[in-house]
Structures are given as C-alpha cells and as structure tokens.
Chains A and B, each alone.
Chain A
Amino acid sequence: MSDQPTPGTSTTPDVPGGSDVSGAAVRPGDRVFRGISFAAGATVLVTMAAIAAFLIYKSIPALRANTVNFLTFQQWFPDKQPSMFGIGALLYFTLVTSLLAMVMAVPVAIGIALYITYYAPRRASQSLGYFVDLLAAVPSIVYGLWGFAFLARNMTGLTLWLDKWFGWTVIFNYQPTNEPNNLSPFTAGVVLAIMILPIISSISREVFRQVPRDQVEAALALGATRWEMIRTAVLPFGRAGVTSASILGVGRALGETLAVTLVLSSVYEVNLHVTESGGVTFASNIALKYGEAGEIGTGALIASGLCLFIITLAVNFTAGLIIRRQRVA
C-alpha cells in the first residue's frame, strides 16, 4: 500500500512524503512550498464556505415565507400567494436518477478499466483509453438532446419488455395505456450513467495500471487464472481509488443540469415506477424555474440548491466511512 509508513520518517508516519528524513530544521524552500500548497488547499475551503454562506443567506427569506412543509410537500409554487413549495419530489427524483446512474455506470466502468489494462492488447490500450475518454468530450447539451430525440424514442421496446418480465418489482411496472414516451427517470439514469462513465473509468484505469508488477506476476506464477489474479492483486489495490472515482461520478450525476432538464418530462409527483415519464431533480428544477422566478421564487430555488449541497455532504460522508473501513481492513 502506498501510504504505509516508510522507515526513517519522523513525525507524520501516514504521509507518504514523510516530514523530514534527517530530522533537521525544515529548509526555507520547503516552508515556502508548503505554505503555497497549504494556501491552495485553503482556497477550496474558502470557496465552499462562501458558496454555503451564499446559499444559506439567499434561502432564508424564502424559507420563512413558505407555508407548507419544505421537506415533504411535492409541488413548487413559491411565487403564489400563499407561497407553497417543497422538495419532496425533487429529493426523490434526484436520488433515484443518481442511484440508477451509479448502479449502471460503476460496474461497466470497472469492466472497461480492467479491459483496457489487463485484457486488451498492450499496444491498443493507450488508444482505447483515449477512445473511452471521448465520451467525456461530449457536451451536456448534446447528451440532453440525444437523450430526448434519440434514446427516449427508441426505449419503448425496453420499457415494455421490463414491464412484462420485471413488472413484479414495482419499479419497472408501467401502467399508463398510451405509447410510452420514455422521458422517465430510467432514461435520465441511462444518460447520466453514460456521462459519468468516462470519469470513473479513466481514474480507475490509471489506478489499475499502477498495481505493482511483482504482485501481479506473483499471482500468475502461483497458477491463478487471469480473473483470480485480478480478484486478488488488482481489485484490493484499487478499491480505494475506484471508490474515490465513483464519488466523483456521483457528484457529477447529482449536479447535472442541462441533460436532465432536456430528458425528463417534469412532473412534480413521486412515482415509484421509474420507466413512466415524469420527474424533476434539484438541478433541473432550478434550470426550469429560474427564468421567471420572482424574489421568493429565486430564494426557493437557492434553498433547493442548499438541500442538494447537504445531500452531497451526506453522500460523501457515508462514502468516507466506507473507504475508511476498507483501508483499515
């Protein structure tokens, strides 16, 4: 493991760089450099604190004006008299679309990363990696338009098939009688999965590539099949990195605005059937409502942004716990 204590380092054994080998006073160059990088790290905290302050400050007047339960109410009418808005539907659909995206993207991304590093012909792996990274080059508006104009139109077969064979799982049940238009959380989840795929897979790829050769060869020398080698040498090594990459992916999925706005046909009602059309996420709600929002309306939208912020905090906190347990184990 690359962050194990290295012999000869003094005060902070868990820092790969160690603090100072000889134990002598820290050199001025080091102090300056350390200061600069510390400041860079601090910039992150300052920016996040500023964003949090902005979100809180702008949402308070709107939250005060709200006359219904912000957390459970499903409709969004902040500029009406009396003001009524709630994140019930937003919360549900944001989590559902991101969860669907994760479930679809993470295994595929790991598979791609493994393919490029251990299954593909050596010479091709560079260009194959570049090829997959091209998915990241597609702008979100193109994803949204493609999802709306192409994918949704061609998902009808899949929607009906899922209803036929998996309708018993409730989520894949499709009840309306007319032709599905597939502007559903499921389609949005698929589009999001494609969007976050390159992020997760390219970082995983770099991580898998760095597995120490001797561990790989030791496994093979003991007669392991390729899969067993991957299972025992590569995956444990890369677990933390892959989880880290997946969190980046989740973050992207939670905050994706334009693609989701174009694909989801917005309906403010919690619906367990994910292939039925309709849904609205935090980000798409802001995009849809921002143009006409009044004072309270803008504040309400920012309040929903604050909620997303808190959700991202919660997701990352949970993931942090998982990683820590993996590192200890």
Chain B
Amino acid sequence: MKLQRQGLLVAGVAAGALALSACGSDNTTTPSGGGGTSSNAAGITCADGQLSAVGSSAQKTAYTAWIAEYEKACGGASINYDPQGSGNGRTQFVQKQVPLAGSDSALKEQQKTDADTRCAPGKAVDLPTVLTPIAIVYNLQGVDKLTLTPTLIGKIFDNKITKWNDPAIVAANSGVTLPDKSITSIHRSSDSGTTDNLTKFLAAQDPAAWPYEPAPAWPAKGGQGASNSAAMVQGVKGADGAIGYVDNPDAVKNTLEAAAIDTGSGAVEINKDSVGKAIAKAELTDNAGDLVFKIKYDLKEPGAYPAILATYQITCTQGLPAEQAKLVKSFLAYQISDAGQAKLPEIGYVPLPVELQSKVKSSIDSLSGA
C-alpha cells in the first residue's frame, strides 16, 4: 500500500517535470539575417556563439540596444552584459572569467600588467566606443530651467549651500524665481564610475568648492545616499527640492530635468555638439591599438560640456579562444560602425567624433578575430 503511494508520488513528480520542460522555450522566430558569417542589411559581419561581458553600468543602456540589434541580425549569437560595475569588469577580465569588459576608466599600472599576461601572446587593449554625459538632475516645482556653475555644484553636493534661493544660485539664474526650499542632495552610495568622473570634473573645475580627491566612492559628508541609479532616480523624483546626478541615458528614460552647466561662458546643455567640443579637447594616447582618453575636466571653453565619461571595451588582441575572439571582434566592429553609433543619440549617449571613430575602427580591425 505504502509502495503504491510512493510510486504514485514519484510518477506525479516526474510527470510534473516533463510537463514543465515541454511547456516553454526560447523565442523560435528566426531572424531575417540568418546565422553564420553572412552579412545583412545593417552591414554586420555576423559571428556565432555565446559571449558574456561584465562592466560599467553607465553603458548598460547602450549595450541593451546594441545587443538587441546584433542578435536580431545574427541568429547564431547570444550576448549577455552584466552591469556589475567597472571594477568588477576589469577584475573578472583579468581573472579570465570574461573575454570582454566595460570600464569607465582604462586599465592602469598593475592591472594592466596582469591583463597583458592574461592576453598572452597578445596584449590587453582599451577601446572607447561610447561617450556618456553626466546629467545633474533636479526636481524643483516651478523651475524648469536651471543653470549651475561647477562651483555651485561642488558646494551643493558638499552640503555647503543648503537652500535653493541662496544668493549664489540666484545670481547664476537671472530671470528664474527660485523658491525658498531646502536642497536635498542625493549621491550614489554604491561606488560607481559615474561618481568617479563627476568628482574628477568637480575637483578639476574648482578645487576650492570641491576639496576632495576624485574616486568612485562618494567622499563628502551629509546628503542622502542612493544604492543605485534606480534609487537615485526615485529619490530625485520623489522629493521636491532634490538634486542628484545620473548618466544621461537614465535621465532621458525618466524625463528628468537636467541642469545646464556654466563653466564661465554661458549655460551649456547636454547635446552632441557640446559633448563633441569637450571630447575634441581630450588627449588621446594610442599605444599600439590601446586607446586611452585623458578628458580635460577643467575645460572652460564656450559651448562645451565637460562632465562626461568615456567607456572602454577591454579585450585581448590575441589569446582568446577562437570562437569568442571572432564574436568579440564582430560585436565591437558593430558598436563602432555608423549603424551602431547612430543608435546612441536617441537613448542619451553621444557617439564618438568621426576622426576618433576611424582610429578605434582600425584598432578593432587589428584584433585577431580568428
């Protein structure tokens, strides 16, 4: 009797398992481009296989768009991007966990040496493919145009200026009535490349207003902490009088108001030109295909928006397993192509200037895709 019961039980569980496995699957519609190495309408040279990349969350929106396009065109490819953070990306790349990492800062010193060892017989290269402006977002009822100087931004986020109608802010915003409200400044509690680059910008523009060393970890005391971009967005949206900072794509997604930055020659908003002007002044070091920007954060040129970050795709010139190398090269080639770069503006990023694009293209072409 007991055996019968037990048998029934086992049969039931097995049936359930079978039913479960039969009842769902991947989306089976085949894309128009087909698999293999065929080309297609977008001009992508496809490759097959599975690719996992880890890295900066600043470029995750770009990757989501790129992956969607690439997979649509190339049926045999499956790409995953895990936005665990630039530091994580670089570490896991060096540990051979992933063949491609996204990082808001290039490989440096010891890590560069370790990465080169990882890529033997080739080297590790940093390839910038996307520029992300940092938006200073705010929520202030009745004010839809706000201009802030880097000094003001530094003092606000350092909690030295605590009211919206502080004379310094009023002086920068002629014609705008600012309410008598306290400022709630929100920062990222989790370390991030965005914080790193923003603090670099603030420290370079006015070290008196921002006396801290730039780092991915927020250095100032006070203010409210947000555990990630989503919490930052909700924090700013949810409090009248709040101010924070996000990657521009996140601001665009949520239609948040971003302040214009005045570095001394008038208010500058985020757009392709202002960011283009800033990146044009950046120093590009080309080290046998390894392309690293030194962004001029203290730039005070009229019409330029220097609060930006460049995200690098870190990979090996050689030393990756053949199938992976092919897929990485093909995917990066798509990123830097006109089609790939054209996808960026509508989601809030800025494509690379044309001269830089060709430099990166030739670097990617020299990756051993075999």
Q: Which residues of A contact B (CB under 8 A)?
A: 76-77, 79-80, 148-149, 153, 177-179, 181, 183, 261-262, 264-267, 269, 277-278, 280, 284, 287-294, 297
Contacts and interface: CB of A to CB of B under 8 A. Distances in A.
Contact of B224 (A76, A153, A277): A277
- Which one of A280, A291, A293 has the greatest number of beta carbons of chain B within 10 Å? A291
Contacts of B234: 148-149
B213 interface: yes
B224 A262 contact: no
B141 to A, nearest CB: 13
B113 to A, nearest CB: 13
Interface stretch (B12-20, B166-174, B214-222): B214-222
A90 to B, nearest CB: 13
Contacts of A262: 227, 231
Question: What 4 A-B pairs have minimum CB-CB distances, sorted nearest first?
Answer: A291-B85, A292-B191, A266-B189, A292-B87
Contact of A269 (B189, B193, B219, B221): B221
A290 B89 CA distance: 11
B254 to A, nearest CB: 15
B225 A292 contact: no
Given A80-B215, A179-B239, A181-B239, A278 B225 contact: yes
B239 A291 contact: no
B192 interface: yes
A265 B221 contact: no
B226 interface: yes
B182 interface: yes
B192 A265 contact: no
A278 B191 CA distance: 16
Given A178-B182, A265-B189, A293-B191, A77 B227 contact: no
Contact of A181 (B213, B222, B224): B224
B225 A265 contact: yes
Nearest to A291: B85
Nearest to B111: A294
B175 interface: no
A266 B225 contact: yes
Given A153-B238, A265-B226, A284-B227, 4 more contacts: A79-B217, A177-B182, A266-B225, A288-B227
B88 interface: yes
A153 B238 CA distance: 9
B86 interface: yes
A292 B231 contact: no
Interface in B163-214: 182, 184, 189-193, 196, 213
A290 B84 CA distance: 9
Contact of A178 (B184, B191, B238): B184
18 contacts: A77-B215, A77-B219, A80-B213, A181-B184, A181-B224, A261-B227, A262-B231, A278-B224, A280-B189, A287-B190, A288-B227, A289-B191, A289-B217, A290-B88, A291-B85, A291-B88, A292-B192, A294-B87
A25 B217 CA distance: 66
B213 A267 contact: no
A149 B226 CA distance: 13
Contact of B84 (A177, A278, A291): A291
Contact of A77 (B85, B192, B217): B217
Interface in B234-283: 234-235, 238-239, 241
A264 B216 CA distance: 20
B305 to A, nearest CB: 24
Contacts of A293: 87, 191
